[in-house]
Structure 1
Amino acid sequence: MIWVNDHIQLDEREIEETFVRAAGPGGQNVNKVSTAVQLRFDIRRSRSLPDDVALRMMKLAGSRLTNDGVIVIIAQNHRSQLRNREEALARLVDLIREATHVAKPRRPTRPTLASKKRRLETKSRRAAVKSLRGGKPNVD
């Protein structure tokens, strides 16, 4: 079990990892060893996630989400396969944690009377300055 928070634990069997050759650091080792990790997590079929968290996670995933509802996370920043696996898993857990936060709905507010007065005062001051620029120059 992978602990996300006190209420959500992921079953390790829901996560699928495939290893591919990575681009980037590693020298000649890059051409020989498959160190990059493609982590796949099926949100729609996951029993570990509550429905509301799964829906928010689909919105947050963006381009990482396939049409089938699978999140694909690719990690290839490190030279070792183990560190790339840890990074991919950490990114998945971070995404789930972010999806657990419920956004507080925005309540529309109205400007206060004082702010309206300040706006109008600065506006009239600015208009007075500009009106002085429009006259003909004094030729004496």
Structure 2
Amino acid sequence: MDKQTLLNELIFKAVRSSGPGGQHANKVSSKVELNFDLEKSNALNEAEKTLLKKSLKNRLTTSGTLSLQCDDSRSQHQNKSLLVKRFLSLLEKGLEIPKSRKKTRPTKASVRKRLDTKKKQAEKKQQRQKPSSE
């Protein structure tokens, strides 16, 4: 993954932010939207693309585009830098290969302990019953 090539492939768009803000919000486009086309990216190899498609499948559009937006700050530049940080951390997290789970078996002592407690519980229930009329 080449970060500089990735950053060159990003498409930014500044739009008006929603919510209150008076005249400032009506004049200034401080909200920033980021679009990244995962399919057409040259910075990622095919293995990384398939891994990202799998891990980011809920965030991708049907055309394979990742879309993020930020309106945390009133400054467009701060929103843009926050968005780039989020994007890079999202990709790094998506490229992590999950650790495979090793099957384990319960120890003999734990099996014995479980069976003993079952037996004690059964005996307790048995003693609570009315005696048979034989």
TM over 0.5: yes
Cα separation, partners in 2 of 1:82 and 1:133, compared to 1, 3 Å: farther
Secondary structure in structure 1 of the residue aligned to 2:40: coil
Matched to 1:8, the amino acid is D
Residue matched to 2:33: 38
Matched to 2:96, the amino acid is H
Deviating above 6 A after TM superposition, structure 1's stretches of 4 or more consecutive aligned residues are none
Distance 1:129 1:10 in 2: 70
Q: Is the 8 A contact 1:53 1:99 kept in 2?
A: no
Distance 1:97 1:39 in 2: 17
| Ranges in structure 1 where 5+ consecutive residues have no aligned partner | 1-6
Q: Is the 8 A contact 1:43 1:70 kept in 2?
A: yes
Q: Is the 8 A contact 1:37 1:85 kept in 2?
A: yes
Cα separation, partners in 2 of 1:75 and 1:134, compared to 1, 3 Å: farther
Distance 1:36 1:121 in 2: 64
Match of 2:65 among 59, 63, 70: 70
Residue matched to 1:4: none
TM-score by length of 1: 0.78
Deviation per CA, 1:61-100, whole angstroms, max 9, x where unpaired? 2432011111001111221111111111111100111123
- What do you get for the CA RMSD once the two structures are aligned? 2.1
Secondary structure in structure 1 of the residue aligned to 2:56: helix
Shift of 1:60: 2.5
How many residue pairs match? The answer is: 129
Matched to 1:94, the amino acid is S
Shift of 1:48: 0.7
Cα separation, partners in 2 of 1:85 and 1:134, compared to 1, 3 Å: farther
Secondary structure in structure 1 of the residue aligned to 2:62: coil
Matched to 1:61, the amino acid is L
Match of 1:113 among 100, 103, 108: 108
Distance 1:59 1:78 in 2: 31
Distance 2:58 2:65 in 1: 11
Residue matched to 1:27: 21
Deviation per CA, 1:35-80, whole angstroms, max 9, x where unpaired? 1111011111111112222222222224320111110011112211
Alignment of 1:1-140 (within 5 A): 8-11=2-5, 12-24=7-19, 27-28=21-22, 29-135=24-130
Identity %: 32
Shift of 1:15: 0.3
